[in-house]
Amino acid sequence: MVLRVTIDGCGGYLPELRLSNDELAALHGLETSDAWIRERTGIRYRHVAASGETASDMGAAAAREALSRAGVEPAEVDAILVATSTPDSAFPATAVRIQAKLGVTKGFAFDIAAACTGFIYGLAVADSLIRTGQARCVLVIGTEVYSRILDWADRGTCVLFGDGAGAVLLRAEEGAGTTADRGLLSCHMHSDGRFGDILHIEGGAGSTGGPGLLRMAGKEVFRHAVTKLAAVVDEALSANGLGHEDVRWLVPHQANLRIINAMGKKLHLPEDRVVVTVDRHANTSAASIPLALAEAHRDGRIGAGDLVVMEAIGGGLTWGAALARF
């Protein structure tokens, strides 16, 4: 028998305030329209954190649902990994804030900074921790409050993002060591710092640039996204001796509907087998994949035995993919 890392529970959290494109434009005096935003991105709504609501608040809420759905008590958790670009503070880590809010008193917790790819990186790290015996029960959380790092004078970026959190509970389980086993089959991570400036937060803690605001060269990011995401998905399938025809669901990073549709076509998947939340959530960065997973798992779309591909690209540039059977 071979140790396998299974996804046993998914959870998500969205702030109460939901803004349509028109409401967002009116609130911030933006010269844009619902039609302009929807045509270019597919976004109709996004959720915005309340005053005083933090990444750790949202991450803890998502984690509680994941624990509940897995039937796991906080006392059983060995590690908490949090992917975020908008931590509560430079330190302590948002992960340890969530550890305290959940009442977890053993093990360890730390943050991962890989922008929108952070959740994929978190899965990869958790997979390694469990396979090497350093933990048996791990929470991987993506949580973001991008509404606090947006330049509201830049209509090209400020309409793209939303706030929210998603989480999964991973556990060690024995399997036969085949691709038919449930659990994570493999994770694949990449980065290329030469392209760091096309999507970044200028300033921030430790910087001379003052408070951090998001900056993005949208056309450049789009160009890299299409090629790099296709390549890393093929890499994941090839590593497991699988093909496009074996994929049941694509759960992509929810950045732009055009990129999502392009990836669905690449895998020869009909639209009803691609999980899409960008229209209602906008881009929630590291939270977008676990939020989409939670929704599709909650409503029964993703079922036992389904092979799921997850992929993301983000600032760094970072990109990656994970393959899992539920």
Active site positions, annotated: 116, 253, 283
- Report which secondary-structure segment, H or E, holds 145: strand 137-145
H-helix or E-strand containing 7? strand 2-13
DSSP H helices in the chain? 21-28, 34-41, 55-70, 94-102, 118-131, 155-158, 218-239, 257-266, 278-281, 288-298
Q: Do residues 253 and 311 make contact, with C-beta atoms less than 8 angstroms apart?
A: yes
CA distance 151 to 275: 29
Q: Under a CB-based contact definition with an 8 Å cutoff, are residues 213 and 171 in contact?
A: no
As a whole number of Å, the CA-based R_g of the chain is 18
| Bridge pairing between strands 307-314 and 79-83 | unpaired
List Cβ neighbours of 265 (8 Å cut-off, separation of 6 or more): none
Q: 3-state class of 208 per DSSP?
A: coil
Q: At what angle do helices 34-41 and 21-28 cross, to 10 degrees?
A: 120
**Residue 122 phi, psi (nearest 5):** -65, -40
C-alpha span between 293 and 62 (Å, rounded): 12
Q: Please state, in angstroms and rounded to a whole number, the distance separating the CA atoms of residues 271 and 307.
A: 16
Q: For 77-115, give one letter per residue: b (16+ CB within 10 A) or e.
A: bbbbbbbbbbbbeeebbbbbbbbebbebeebebebbebb
